[in-house]
A = this chain, B = another copy of it.
Amino acid sequence: MNRIDVQTDPSRYRHWRLAFDGPVADLIMDVDPAGGLFLGYELKLNSYDLAVDIELADAVQRLRFEHPEVRAVVIRSGKDNVFCAGANIRMLAASSHGHKVNFCKFTNETRLAIEDASAHSGQTYLCAVNGPAAGGGYELAMATEHILLVDDRRSSVALPETPLLAVLPGTGGLTRLTDKRRVRRDLADAFCSTEEGVRGRRAVDWRLVDEIVPPSAWSRSVADRAQALAASSDRPADAAGISLAPLERRVSDAGVDYPHVRVRIDRVARRADLTVLGPRDLPADLAAIHAAGSSFWPLAVARELDDALLHLRFNEPTAGLLVLHTEGDSDAVIAADALLEAHRGNWLVREIRLYLKRVLKRLDMTARSLIALIEPGSCFAGTLAELSFAADRTLMFAGALGGDNRAPAALRLSAMNFGAYPMGNGLSRLATRFLGEPDAVERARARVGEALDSAAAEALGLVTATFDEIDWDDEVRLLLEERASFSPDALTAMEANLRAAGPETMETKIFGRLTAWQNWVFQRPNAVGEHGALKRYGSGVQPRYDPERT
């Protein structure tokens, strides 16, 4: 299989177009049937696969950074006869279990990024449904804040997965129905059982769309609604966007190298070592941050880390251990955090903070065992300390390393550890960590800025264990060997539960409840077996089901 690469830019899009009109952008889905990621299927009727979603994720990202003037984004179809037919069925039927799971996870993250833009970036998404929107097509619409539907005989919304394919709407559909759109459960049940979907007035009555519009008023209504949503934005009208330059990246069999992130793969140990390098220099002020653009260290790290995580998910499925390191000067990391905090009111700095939040959530949702190692010469400080709080376990080196002149291992906190990067559950990683002893959050906050040695970090409950030079290598090796000996599935499931302490939100429900059930269904013979619905779709032969309910 070729390497899956999530890097793209609008000049290379095959499936989407962007059009700009002052504060309103159109994001137009016009899938090239021949542009699928793999061979063996055609992306008919604006159906999509990962290739389509990679471009969508890129477009959503660029709209935020490159277009400060855009305050509302209209998702629409570039085809006359269809809005979007959802995820391509033949692609799903041909995919491995692991690819289906990772594909759904990435599409979910993209749709949540759309909602994050609406909620926090002053860039509100709406959706103009002209033609049938089925399955993932309607799920895409639900990720926007306002759905307009043409009131004609053929435009409809549908979640036909259960009747047609014996699977679930896998991109948050059921949870958005109940928790975002708050559709009455019996109507949701009826809706999800209906292949042909719902159109017209009933779609509004059932809360499935926000308004229906007669064909004659369509263009005007969509434009008016977009303008109205744009009006409440706080994005600056006169700012210049920054360009997200192509990532500098060298991929080899041994791993991937970026300017600030290094990934090394040990396929025998089934281990990836990911090292984030601290900043070497930083801009002096806000103007210099804008001038630096995508080379500003926090943004560069966010982009490189994001790419590295997706590379590991898609291309290194057997690297079950993800060992997190940092390297560099913690003073510089703290200084970078100070810039992010001092200029938080600026639109670009806000975007960088929001992107770091999303990348850290991507890490939370990565189904690998996360082990952070705080060693001499590392810079787990502020934003980078979040890597250690995201880890399943954090080991810290105690004392100095004989014959080594690097700084002793230290953990440092900054203001950014106390709310800038909430997890999907809405709480900071520290608040989640200390659900059982909320005072511990305040004890940690009192130590912001200090270089905490292993004794202090352990006493504050910030690391799992500390070992001195005599034991360090053995203890690290034992932990990693032990972890590698466990069932990868049991670890995935265990981590998905232990990382989800405390409140559940729509977002965590999508990744927890809905995804877990979808993953279950994705293994059941009634869906993926020889006689299952996914395999038999389009064959003209009805699926055959084992009738047992669990």
* A interface list, Cβ under 8 A from B: 97-98, 101-102, 161-163, 165-168, 174-175, 177-179, 181-190, 192-193, 207, 270, 317-320, 367-368, 391-394, 432-437, 461, 463-465, 482-483, 485-504, 509, 512-514, 516-521, 523-524, 526-527, 532-533, 543, 545-550
Contacts of A368 in B (CB 8 A): 549
Give chain B nearest CB distance to A366 CB in angstroms: 9
Report 22 cross-chain contacts, Cβ distance below 8 Å, ordered by A residue: A101-B550, A174-B497, A174-B498, A177-B498, A178-B497, A182-B436, A182-B437, A182-B501, A184-B434, A186-B394, A192-B494, A318-B547, A487-B545, A488-B548, A489-B527, A493-B520, A503-B504, A509-B512, A512-B513, A513-B513, A516-B517, A523-B524
* A-B complex: 5 closest residue pairs judged by Cβ atoms: A182-B436, A516-B516, A166-B487, A504-B504, A178-B501
Asked whether A499 and B185 contact (CB < 8 A) given A167-B490, A190-B393, A487-B543, the answer is: yes
Which single residue of chain B is at the shortest CB-CB distance from A178?
A: B501
- B182→A519 contact, CB < 8 A: no
- A187→B516 contact, CB < 8 A: no
- B488→A526 contact, CB < 8 A: yes
Among B317, B434, B436, which residue has its beta carbon within 8 angstroms of that of A181? B436
- B498→A189 contact, CB < 8 A: yes
- B178→A488 contact, CB < 8 A: no
- A168→B433 contact, CB < 8 A: no
Contacts of A491 in B (CB 8 A): 162, 549
Contacts of A178 in B (CB 8 A): 435, 497-498, 500-502
Q: Give CA–CA (A415, B112) in the complex, Å.
A: 40
- B514→A549 contact, CB < 8 A: no
Among B182, B463, B494, B504, which residue has its beta carbon within 8 angstroms of that of A174? B494
Contacts of A523 in B (CB 8 A): 520, 523-524
Contacts of A494 in B (CB 8 A): 162, 168, 174, 189, 192
Contacts of A317 in B (CB 8 A): 548-550
Among B187, B497, B518, which residue has its beta carbon within 8 angstroms of that of A464? B187
Asked whether A517 and B502 contact (CB < 8 A) given A162-B486, A193-B486, A433-B184, the answer is: no
Give chain B nearest CB distance to A409 CB in angstroms: 17
Contacts of A513 in B (CB 8 A): 496-497, 500, 504, 512-513, 516
Q: Give CA–CA (A547, B317) in the complex, Å.
A: 8
Which single residue of chain B is at the shortest CB-CB distance from A166?
A: B487
Asked whether A516 and B520 contact (CB < 8 A) given A193-B483, A545-B488, the answer is: yes
Contacts of A486 in B (CB 8 A): 162-163, 166, 193, 545
Q: Give CA–CA (A493, B190) in the complex, Å.
A: 15
Which single residue of chain B is at the shortest CB-CB distance from A162?
A: B490
Q: Give CA–CA (A272, B392) in the complex, Å.
A: 46
Asked whether A497 and B519 contact (CB < 8 A) given A162-B486, A436-B181, A488-B547, the answer is: no
Q: Give CA–CA (A496, B516) in the complex, Å.
A: 11
Asked whether A487 and B162 contact (CB < 8 A) given A207-B436, A509-B504, the answer is: yes
Q: Give CA–CA (A526, B367) in the complex, Å.
A: 16
- A498→B185 contact, CB < 8 A: yes
- A392→B516 contact, CB < 8 A: no
Given contacts A161-B490, A189-B498, A489-B520, 15 further A-B contacts (CB under 8 A): A166-B486, A178-B435, A178-B502, A184-B434, A184-B436, A185-B432, A186-B464, A193-B483, A318-B548, A318-B549, A487-B524, A487-B532, A489-B526, A496-B517, A516-B520
